[in-house]
């Protein structure tokens, strides 16, 4: 059917590229382009080893995604039907600009963040909406798991289960154990910036702030058991608060183990998570970037991680005048993800929906000029693809609520 250009060759890109090559009917050509060409070539080899039958033609290229001119050149040479950005959130705007210039449909998994400000937000990307309309091109933002599948779950609940949604709690549990006292499951810099930021949630038409990890709850997760979880600000809250009418409350909780938090706070207390550059032996270094260099590379965690993830949404609201609760979630197993594509479940749960988002755009099942989030589209075809490509979802109509 068509060609996808994947930018990035890290943990998430690796899963998405494997999945695109399993889905050869849609992606008959896959170009993997990233800053380090050798990583693209290694990924190509891994796909060919694991999936020798693939009909997708795989090629690789080197690209600095901060360089708009280089991106435009690459897009003009490759002429992909969709550009799937799986590098870092810092590159959202440069890649969107290059896609605008070349009228290439754009898909990503994380909203924009600048290197010197740890605050991610959709505004700079939404601001490009009219330009994408004028160029008759589409941008699909946040097609990972959270954001991504959580937004599709919201659209699905609105379409099939509620006349009015009143509250949404998004619960993200990773019960995986990699055996290290401290390591992050995806890019450490992005992960630590996210976790050490203030908490924030939507209540009665306004944003309420908390101190970092100030609000703790315990939840009994299906197929996992009881875990401590903490209220955090998370990307999809911004678009969900905008896209769900009359929403009274939207919160996001993520589980963290004791060892992870003990190390994180010690590192924070000694200044190792700071993004302010410091002078060290005549050189400027950013402590968080240095910390990233000494931590285990997330892409190496897969082979040692055991256990499951459970990510889902609990809704309350009204249907036919009656109060209703509804819980929808996916459980993903680290070891079976690793056996299938050589990555643990955190990358798997992001890479699979990234592939599905790109396939929705490639096949024009989701097709509107402008800049959109996943909850702006019909959720049903995406939900079917989740079941088909390894992230089946489950429902409960009587879930335990979070107080």
Residues near ligand NDP (CB under 6 A) are 8-13, 34-36, 39, 63-66, 86-89, 91, 109-110, 144-148, 186-187, 190, 298-299, 350
CB of 142 to ligand NDP, least distance (A): 6
Give the span between the Cα atoms of 330 and 343, in whole angstroms: 17
Tell me how far the alpha carbon of residue 99 is from its chain's centroid. 20
Which two three-digit tokens encode residue 340?
A: 């299938």
CB of 160 to ligand NDP, least distance (A): 23
Residue closer to ligand NDP (CB basis): 292 or 324: 292
CB of 6 to ligand NDP, least distance (A): 10
Give the span between the Cα atoms of 195 and 184, in whole angstroms: 11
CB of 11 to ligand NDP, least distance (A): 4
Strands 2-7 and 225-232: unpaired
| Nearest residue to ligand NDP, scored by beta-carbon proximity | 10
Give the span between the Cα atoms of 10 and 88, in whole angstroms: 10
Taking Cα atoms as reference points, which of 343, 340, 261 lies closest to residue 300? Answer: 343
Residue closer to ligand NDP (CB basis): 88 or 171: 88
With contact defined as beta carbons under 8 Å apart, do 354 and 198 qualify? no
CB of 42 to ligand NDP, least distance (A): 10
Which region holds residue 117: left if phi is over 0, alpha if psi is between -120 and 50, else beta? beta
With contact defined as beta carbons under 8 Å apart, do 30 and 57 qualify? yes
What is residue 101's three-state secondary structure?
A: helix
Residue closer to ligand NDP (CB basis): 42 or 133: 42
Give the span between the Cα atoms of 107 and 122, in whole angstroms: 14
What is residue 21's three-state secondary structure?
A: helix
CB of 118 to ligand NDP, least distance (A): 12
Residue closer to ligand NDP (CB basis): 61 or 365: 61
Residue closer to ligand NDP (CB basis): 62 or 387: 62
Give the span between the Cα atoms of 101 and 113, in whole angstroms: 22
Give the span between the Cα atoms of 71 and 77, in whole angstroms: 10
Which two three-digit tokens encode residue 120?
A: 């991610």
CB of 397 to ligand NDP, least distance (A): 26
CB of 86 to ligand NDP, least distance (A): 5
Residue closer to ligand NDP (CB basis): 100 or 354: 354
CB of 152 to ligand NDP, least distance (A): 12
Residue closer to ligand NDP (CB basis): 60 or 316: 60
Q: Which residue has the tokens 């209220």?
A: 231
Taking Cα atoms as reference points, which of 103, 59, 58, 112 lies closest to residue 85? Answer: 112
Residue closer to ligand NDP (CB basis): 31 or 317: 31
Which two three-digit tokens encode residue 236?
A: 């999809």
Residue closer to ligand NDP (CB basis): 33 or 157: 33
Cα–Cα distance list, 86 to 13, 313, 370 (Å): 5, 24, 20
């Amino acid at each position: 059917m068509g060609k996808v250009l994947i930018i990035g060759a890290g943990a998430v890109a690796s899963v998405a590229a494997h999945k695109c090559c399993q889905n050869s009917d849609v992606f008959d050509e896959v170009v993997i382009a990233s800053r380090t060409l050798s990583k693209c070539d290694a990924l190509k080899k891994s796909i060919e080893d694991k999936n020798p039958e693939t009909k997708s033609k795989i090629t690789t290229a080197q690209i600095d995604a901060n360089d708009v001119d280089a991106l435009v050149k690459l897009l003009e040479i490759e002429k992909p039907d969709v550009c799937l950005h799986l590098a870092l959130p810092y590159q959202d705007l440069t890649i969107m600009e290059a896609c605008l210039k070349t009228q290439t449909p754009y898909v990503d998994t994380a909203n924009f963040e600048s290197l010197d400000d740890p605050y991610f937000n959709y505004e700079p990307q939404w601001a490009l909406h009219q330009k994408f309309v004028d160029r008759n091109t589409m941008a699909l933002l946040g097609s990972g798991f959270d954001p991504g599948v959580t937004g599709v779950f919201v659209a699905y609940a609105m379409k099939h289960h509620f006349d009015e949604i009143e509250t949404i709690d998004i619960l993200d549990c990773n019960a995986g154990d990699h055996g290290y006292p401290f390591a992050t499951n995806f890019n450490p810099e992005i992960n630590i910036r996210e976790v050490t930021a203030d908490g924030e949630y939507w209540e009665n038409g306004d944003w309420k702030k908390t101190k970092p990890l100030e609000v703790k709850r315990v939840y009994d997760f299906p197929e996992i058991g009881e875990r401590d979880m903490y209220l955090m600000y998370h990307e999809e809250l911004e678009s969900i608060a905008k896209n769900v009418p009359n929403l009274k409350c939207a919160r996001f909780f993520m589980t963290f183990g004791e060892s992870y938090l003990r190390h994180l706070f010690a590192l924070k207390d000694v200044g190792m998570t700071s993004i302010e550059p410091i002078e060290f032996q005549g050189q400027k270094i950013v402590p968080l970037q240095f910390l990233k260099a000494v931590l285990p590379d997330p892409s190496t965690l897969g082979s040692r991680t055991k256990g499951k993830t459970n990510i889902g949404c609990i809704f309350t609201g009204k249907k036919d005048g009656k109060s209703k609760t509804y819980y929808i979630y996916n459980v993903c197993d680290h070891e079976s993800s690793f056996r299938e594509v050589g990555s643990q479940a955190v990358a798997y749960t992001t890479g699979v929906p990234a592939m599905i988002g790109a396939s929705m755009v490639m096949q024009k099942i989701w097709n509107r000029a402008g800049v959109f989030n996943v909850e702006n589209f019909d959720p049903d075809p995406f939900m079917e693809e989740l079941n088909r490509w390894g992230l089946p979802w489950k429902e409960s109509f009587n879930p335990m609520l979070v107080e």
